[in-house]
Amino acid sequence: MTYLDFEPIRFAHLPTPVEELPRLAQVLGLSRLLIKRDDQTGLALGGNKTRKLEYLLGDARSKGARTLITRGAAQSNHCRQTAAAAARLGFECVLVLAGTPPDYATGNILLDQILNAELVWTKGRDPEQVLQESYSNLEHKGADPYLIPYGGSNHLGVLAYVEAMEELMSQSPEVDRILFATSSGGTQAGLCLGAKMYGFKGKLTGISVDPEAPALKRKVSEIANNAASKIGSPIRIQEDQLEVVDIFRGEGYGVMSDLERTAIKTFARHEGILLDPVYTGRAAGGMIELIQSGAITNDERILFWHTGGTPSLFAYAEEIFQ
């Protein structure tokens, strides 16, 4: 994008496919169901953060950084993709992970280790405080760190999903509503800003996997408008223009319930598509319940945006078949 003072580093496999899900549409009683496969972005088993990292690492390189540092949950998909991008482009990588190290590494933690990231565990402390302390330590050691925010969700990460919306519209799917998981807000902010910029007329429904709707709307509006300012766009996203459904948060972030179990098995057994337990499983479970309740009507043409996260399935093996 010519308005940036650096060039994004292109390593994602783009455009990601848009596929029909005819068997699942029939099961759910929908006239049309599509899926956008951002689980196939290509970086260490893919996911939506790969798009954002193209921009964030372009900025990091332009600033002369040598070490990437970010934070996330123990099974963070964002952290796994950051570690992979660092390895591919020759950065060192420090990941601040919530909790304590497990006795046995699986899922994304195993991949973080294979990718040679340094893992810093919060051990009950505030994750953002540990992140800032770790960043300061890297500065003190002369490691030239670049801090990537939680989820890669800032004005640069948003621009990647503005671009993703343009990509989707070039693929010309005829849809009335796009549904997706939302948590740190960057993906939703980019899609909403991109929808206004490129004239998407349908609905954008974010299924919150953790934050309550008012707080998430504030975050999405803030970072979307920061991104719009960055590119000189007069478009602004108001909180009341955003749709966030927060009734499927269950017992909290990463706590699996029958909602996620049903969605994971339904997508797998009817379309051979794997969802993750935290993000896409919860968002797809919410979508299914909205359809069954009539909140989404059967004549709506739906696109589910698959944001990735499949490696964390292996950390939830016992919970999936409870």
Query: Mean pLDDT across the chain, nearest whole number?
Result: 96
Domain assignments of the chain as residue spans, ordered by start: 18-47+153-320, 49-152
Instruction: Tell me the DSSP string of 260-289.
Output: HHHHHHHHHHHH-----TTTHHHHHHHHHH
| Region 256-267 average pLDDT | 97
Q: How confident is the model at residue 5 (pLDDT cuts 50, 70, 90)?
A: confident
Rg of the chain in Å (alpha carbons): 19
What percent of the chain has a predicted confidence (pLDDT) above 90? 97
- Indicate whether 322 pLDDT > 80: no
Say what the pLDDT of residue 288 is: 98
* DSSP class of 317: H
Record: fold of 18-47+153-320: Rossmann fold (3.40.50)
**Residues labelled catalytic:** 76
- Indicate whether 168 pLDDT > 60: yes
Q: How confident is the model at residue 2 (pLDDT cuts 50, 70, 90)?
A: very low
**pTM for the full model?**
0.96
Contact present, 44 and 6 (Cβ < 8 Å)? no
Say what the pLDDT of residue 1 is: 45
Q: How confident is the model at residue 173 (pLDDT cuts 50, 70, 90)?
A: confident
Structure token digits, residue 210: 């953790």
| Region 215-238 average pLDDT | 96
Model confidence pLDDT, tens digit, residues 22-70: 999 999 999 999 999 999 999 999 999 999 999 999 999 999 999 999 9
Residue range 49-152 in CATH 3.40.50.10420: no
> Looking up tokens 């007069």, which residue turns up?
234
- Does this chain's domain 18-47+153-320 share its CATH topology with 49-152? yes
**CA 125 from centre of chain:** 24
Model confidence pLDDT, tens digit, residues 78-119: 999 999 999 999 999 999 999 999 999 999 999 999 999 999
| Region 206-221 average pLDDT | 98
Model confidence pLDDT, tens digit, residues 133-167: 999 999 999 999 999 999 999 999 999 999 999 99
CA distances from 261 to 24, 128, 168, 316 (A): 16, 31, 29, 10
CA distance 92 to 63: 15
CA distance 163 to 2: 13
